Amino acid sequence: MFSCYTLETLAQSALLDPPARLSVLGDPVAHSLSPQMHNPALAACGLEASYVRIAVKNADFTRALHDLRHLGFIGTNVTIPHKCTALDSVDAVDPAARRLGAVNTISFLPDGRTLGRNSDGPGFVRAVQQEFGADIRDLRILLLGAGGGAGGAVAVQSALEGCRHLTLTNRTQSKADEVAHSLRDLLPTQRCLTLPWTPQALADVLPNIDLIVNATSLGMDPTDPALLPDGLLTPSHLVYDMVYKPLTTHLVAAARTAGARAINGLPMLLWQGVQSFEWWFDRPAPVQAMRDGLTAAIASSSSS
């Protein structure tokens, strides 16, 4: 069930029991944990559908959407490198996805059109709500790695939610400046600032921060440099490291040692999946089934 199809072998997915009706398109995509999260959800809801991975080259993306529609698919997720291509390949785009400049969830509508949306921002909001019991609009946020991708989505969604204050930093500060400039219509200048990624600048700002988000890949390798200088985290901080391999990064460990509440990137992955499921089926997702599937997949990959 968790094998990876290509456009040439895609028709075989109709022979699955139940047949494939949802997917994730990417290149590469064999590593995706989405099937292990969505298939338990489909089973829990009694839906006669399977979720599969499909490896698709960027030049074949439009053909892939046509083939999925022809095979009766309900929708698909989209991952690297297709998120920007998807934006220009669907018939309609949700305003938030248009603002983010990327689509990662596509629905095949009954009227024959394709609708593109982006679950990155909503997944971030729901993760903070569910894991920390906090609302983005009430928080002063420090975003590490604000140059684009996941960081860009977090920045845009935080501004859309009207957060109390947003501080952006990036190894290349000009990229953070560009993101901040793009948000001027959502947050006034005094509520959206950038700062250089230096120990002194971070030391100056952290006493006035509620939520720290790491949107970089730093922490995946044990030899990566520390994201924050030692001794700056306090029990009042919330720390959200979007890295989930390893499950406990240096940042998460440091936060917990300081008495702060900290989570890794798994909740983001979970709540993105929940959002996609609810868009496709217009019903509440079975969150616990999805969480259990994701947890089991991570445990299996960690032990292999």
Which residues belong to the active site? Answer: 83
Distance of alpha carbon 219 from alpha carbon 233, whole angstroms: 17
Which residues, in sequence order, are CB contacts of 188 under 8 Å at separation 6+? none
Complete DSSP assignment for 38-70: HHHHHHHTT-S-EEEEEE--GGGHHHHHHHHHH
Contact between residue 5 and residue 12 where contact means Cβ atoms under 8 Å apart: yes
Q: Identify which of 185, 183, 179, 121 has the alpha carbon closest to the alpha carbon of residue 147.
A: 179
The distance between the two most distant Cα atoms of the chain, rounded to a whole number of Å, is 60
Burial of 299 by CB count in 10 Å (0-12 exposed, 13-18 middle, 19+ buried)?
exposed
Give strand pairing partners of 231: none
Among the residues of 3-134, which ranges form H helices? 34-44, 61-70, 83-87, 95-100, 120-132
CA angle 175, 271, 30 (to 5 degrees): 80
